[in-house]
């Protein structure tokens, strides 16, 4: 099983690391932050820890 960091979008720690290596920053983290800001995530229902 992947080491999921984001249950809403299915990103793993490896995905974020690879994204950082390819782009010099994490575009995935930027996307997650924006989605959370505008209510586009479902952390409370998808994350087993409800966060």
Digitized pLDDT (tens) for each residue of the chain, 51 residues in all: 568 888 888 899 999 999 999 999 989 988 988 988 888 878 777 777 766
Range of the domain at 22: 4-46
pLDDT at residue 40, as a whole number = 82
Residues 6+ positions from 8 with CB-CB distance below 8 Å:
32, 35, 40, 41, 42, 43, 46, 47
Q: Is residue 51 part of a domain?
A: no
Q: How many independent structural domains does the chain possess?
A: 1
Q: Is residue 18 part of a domain?
A: yes
pLDDT at residue 2, as a whole number = 67
Q: Is residue 35 part of a domain?
A: yes
Q: Is residue 17 part of a domain?
A: yes
Beta bridge partners of 33: none
> Can you spell out the DSSP letters for 29-43?
HHHHHHHHHTT---H
pLDDT at residue 46, as a whole number = 79
């Amino acid at each position: 099983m992947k080491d999921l960091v984001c249950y809403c979008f299915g990103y793993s720690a490896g995905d974020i690391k690879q994204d950082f290596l390819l782009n010099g920053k994490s575009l995935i983290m930027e996307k997650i932050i924006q989605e959370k800001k505008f209510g586009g995530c479902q952390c409370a229902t998808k994350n087993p820890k409800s966060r």
